[in-house]
Structure 1
C-alpha cells in the first residue's frame, strides 16, 4: 500500500507542511498562473515563460489535485482537455501569493509588479480586503490580469 503524503512529511512544523505542499517552485507558479493570468488547462500552464517540463507539470498538477489544492473537471467543449481550478484550500493560498508580490515589489528592482504600481499600493494599504476580493474573483472564474494568459 502506498503511504500517504501525511506519513511522509519530514516534521509536523507548520512551515515545513506548507513548504512540502506548495513550497516548490512549480506548484506556486501554477497557483500564480490561475490567480493572475486565468490559466485553466495543461497547455496554458505549459506556455508559461519559466519553461516547465511536461513530466514535471503533469506531476505537479496531479500532486496539487491529490492535496486538495486544485480540482480537475472535463472541458465541456472538448472532453479531451481538462480544466483546473483552485479549491477553497487552494484559494486560501492567495494571500500568500499576494504577500510574495509585495515582498518582490520591495526587493526586486526588475520585478514586473512594478508595472502594476496602483495594484501594489492598494494591496499594501489593504491586504486582507484585496485578498478577499481576489479570492472572490478567482472563485467565480476570473483572474487579476486576463491579458497575460498567453
Structure 2
C-alpha cells in the first residue's frame, strides 16, 4: 500500500514517519527498556497521552516498524514488538543519545548513560542483541 509523503526526499519521508515528538521515544522504550504493553509504554518518563500513544502505535504498525500480538493469558491485552525494520533504527537512537549527551547538557539535566564512550558499533550490537534476546522469549 503506497503512502502519501510530502516529497520524494528520503529524509523528508523518514521524518513523516518517525519525526514527530513521540515515535522515536516509543521505539527507544521498546528497544532499550524492553517495554511491550500499552501500559508500560504509556508509563514512560515523558508521559505520552493515551490517545497520542494509540495513534502513534497504529502509525508505526502501518509502516511495519512494529507489530502486535495478543497476550496468551489475557486476550484483551496486546504486546507490541519491533520488526526488523524497527530494530534497524538502533543506530539512529544511539546517535540521538550521543548527540544529546554531548550537546544538550548546557540547557537541561541530561541523564548520564553508561557505556556511551564505547565504540558505537558495540553499543548498537548490544542494544539489538538485548532486544532480540527478550523477543526470543515469545517464540
TM-score using structure 1 length: 0.82
8 Å contact kept, 1:34–1:85? yes
**Could you list the runs of 4 or more consecutive aligned residues of structure 1 that deviate by over 6 angstroms after TM superposition?**
none
Provide structure 1 residue ranges, at least 5 long, that are not aligned to the other structure: 143-150
Does residue 80 of structure 2 align to residue 84 of structure 1?
Answer: yes
Counterpart of 2:61 in 1: which secondary structure?
A: helix
Residue of 88, 93, 97 corresponding to 2:89: 93
Task: Identify, as 1 or 2, the structure richer in helix.
Answer: 1
Q: Partner of 1:140 in structure 2?
A: 133
8 Å contact kept, 2:32–2:127? no
Q: Partner of 1:147 in structure 2?
A: none
- 1:52–1:65 Cα change, 3 Å: same
**Distance apart, 1:79 and its partner CA:** 1.5
Counterpart of 1:121 in 2: which secondary structure?
A: coil
Q: CA RMSD in A?
A: 1.5
Counterpart of 1:72 in 2: which secondary structure?
A: strand
8 Å contact kept, 2:116–2:123? no
**Distance apart, 1:5 and its partner CA:** 5.7
Does residue 62 of structure 2 align to residue 66 of structure 1?
Answer: yes
Whole-angstrom CA distance in 2 between matches of 1:31 and 1:48:
12
Provide structure 2 residue ranges, at least 5 long, that are not aligned to the other structure: none
- 1:22–1:5 Cα change, 3 Å: farther
